[in-house]
Amino acid sequence: MDRHKWRALHRVLRRTRHDITLYLDAVKELEEKARPCYEGQIALSSNEFVEMMALDGCFILELFRGVAEGFKQLGYPRNDPVFSMRGSMHTIQRDMIMLENQIPMFILDRLLGIQLGDPDLKGLVAKLALRFFDPLMPTDEPLTQSDRNKLESLGHMTTFDPLSDYQSGLHCLEVFRRSLLNLGPKPVPGNWIKRWSNTNRVADKRRQQLIHCVTELREAGIKVRKQKTDRFWDIKFKNGVLRIPRLLIHDGTRSLFLNLIAFEQSHFDCSNEVTSYVVFMDNLVNSPEDVGYLHYCGIIEHWLGSDAEVADLFNRLCKEVVFDINDSYLSTLSVEVNRYYDHRWNTWRVSLKHNYFSNPWAIISLIAAVVLLLLTLAQTFYGV
């Protein structure tokens, strides 16, 4: 891939008629600010670090701009192995969303600003990043009218600003996460932000049990329905009905969720909405039958080989994840669902319906049995 990175840099230099020192000097000015954005000590000299940032940054920007403007407009041939809308683009998108492959947004801003003749440019890279990573979105559900009205009333209809709470270490993965959680769930009150470091903490499965699986919920009389919203995290429960938004699962979903969870788990100042959602879905899906029913309800749509692969995906995502249900935005909902689940009458009612009212003949047999019992009691009464 290094060869293609150098190709991108040379293309940028030819197109802009700039000298490479312009980009190296710009990154050099930001080196002291950029190094702390990476965990641990970076075993690179100043020149090596600056060259890496400039090379990787220009490569990323060429991909972003190519998807938005068209690679042909940037001077690449139609059959280019990397800089074209070919099959390899999906692999590149999955690789670039990985936490370890992120570059600070201020580096990308500066490099793009130099290319466009505005060194102080900010915000455009974030918009290009969202356009580039859009195929990885976990939902393609259109906005409902109520959501549309809410966005308009808050002024977010077309002006979502991922840099509204700008931090020096902001990168593309965080921009993507903020976009996913735009108008997101309210934080759990109290001192709830807890993350792991290098200490020997072990994920306790008992502290990750938010909810029972789909099969068990249905046996307790809880109905599962699709929630019509484009916000995948917006799960509701009311009057025995659990409403879950549609989730689109593709070959990039595993990489996306793994890296979003890794980001939340490794940042002390970050909330845990994505982790909470994935743990919830892991609890909900225990078998291919659970996946099949959610697909039947229109909640899960997947491009994987089988329902078993989807179940395995969720069950593997949460391994080694440190999570406490009290930290979750879904903790209150889970309490309500589990309270309904533990109510014995709901289980008896479902069992009665399944065993005696599942088809007309069962109903007729039950009525006949009741009539026969009443006649027997009457005969016994009058016989006495």
Q: Which domain holds residue 370?
A: 344-383
Q: Is the pLDDT of residue 168 over 50?
A: no
Structure confidence at residue 193 (pLDDT): 33
Q: Nearest Cα to 65, choosing from 132, 7, 161?
A: 132
Give a yes or no: residue 185 inside a domain: no
Question: Rounded to an integer, what is the distance from CA 367 to the centroid of its chain?
Answer: 51
One-letter amino acid at 336 equals: E
pTM, two decimals, is: 0.78
Query: What is the Cα–Cα distance from 299 to 318, expressed in whole angstroms?
Result: 20
Least reliable range by pLDDT among 10-14, 226-230, 344-348, 358-362 = 344-348
In this prediction, residues 220-226 reach a mean pLDDT of 93
DSSP conformation class of 186: P
Q: Are residues 86 and 123 in the same domain?
A: yes
CB 241 within 8 A of CB 223: yes
Give a yes or no: residue 115 inside a domain: yes
Q: Nearest Cα to 216, choosing from 349, 341, 354, 312?
A: 341
Question: For 181-330, where are the alpha helices, taking DSSP H only?
Answer: 214-219, 253-266, 273-284, 288-296, 307-317
Query: From the CA atom positions of the chain, what is the Rg in Å?
Result: 27
Give a yes or no: residue 124 inside a domain: yes
Q: Are residues 248 and 354 in the same domain?
A: no
Structure confidence at residue 353 (pLDDT): 56
- Which H/E stretch holds residue 238? strand 236-238
Structure confidence at residue 361 (pLDDT): 62
Give a yes or no: residue 176 inside a domain: no
Structure confidence at residue 158 (pLDDT): 41
Give a yes or no: residue 378 inside a domain: yes
CA 197 vs CA 87, 100, 200, 340: distances in Å: 37, 16, 8, 37
Which is more confident, 48 or 161?
48
Give a yes or no: residue 28 inside a domain: yes
Structure confidence at residue 42 (pLDDT): 84
SS3 41: coil
CA 336 vs CA 41, 209, 211, 216, 306: distances in Å: 47, 14, 10, 15, 32
Q: Are residues 255 and 267 in the same domain?
A: yes
Question: For 134-287, where are the alpha helices, taking DSSP H only?
Answer: 145-153, 172-180, 214-219, 253-266, 273-284
Q: Are residues 242 and 309 in the same domain?
A: yes
Least reliable range by pLDDT among 47-61, 76-90, 173-187, 362-376 = 362-376
Q: Are residues 362 and 259 in the same domain?
A: no
Structure confidence at residue 43 (pLDDT): 85
Q: Are residues 109 and 215 in the same domain?
A: no
Taking only the tens place, the pLDDT of each residue in 272-308 is 899 999 999 999 999 999 999 999 999 999 988 899 9
Give a yes or no: residue 153 inside a domain: no
Least reliable range by pLDDT among 72-86, 260-274, 367-381 = 367-381
Taking only the tens place, the pLDDT of each residue in 89-114 is 888 988 899 988 899 999 999 999 99
Contacts for 159-162: CB closer than 8 Å, 24+ residues apart: 161/123, 162/126, 162/130
Query: What is the Cα–Cα distance from 102 to 96, expressed in whole angstroms?
Result: 7
Q: Is the pLDDT of residue 202 over 50?
A: no
Structure confidence at residue 268 (pLDDT): 75
Structure confidence at residue 39 (pLDDT): 79
Q: What percent of the chain has pLDDT over 70?
A: 78
Q: Are residues 264 and 364 in the same domain?
A: no
Q: Are residues 313 and 369 in the same domain?
A: no
Q: Nearest Cα to 107, choosing from 129, 90, 140?
A: 129
In this prediction, residues 59-72 reach a mean pLDDT of 94
Structure confidence at residue 351 (pLDDT): 55
Q: Are residues 324 and 359 in the same domain?
A: no
Taking only the tens place, the pLDDT of each residue in 331-354 is 999 999 999 988 755 555 555 555
CB 370 within 8 A of CB 362: no
- The pLDDT mean for the chain works out to 81
Q: Are residues 338 and 370 in the same domain?
A: no
Structure confidence at residue 4 (pLDDT): 92
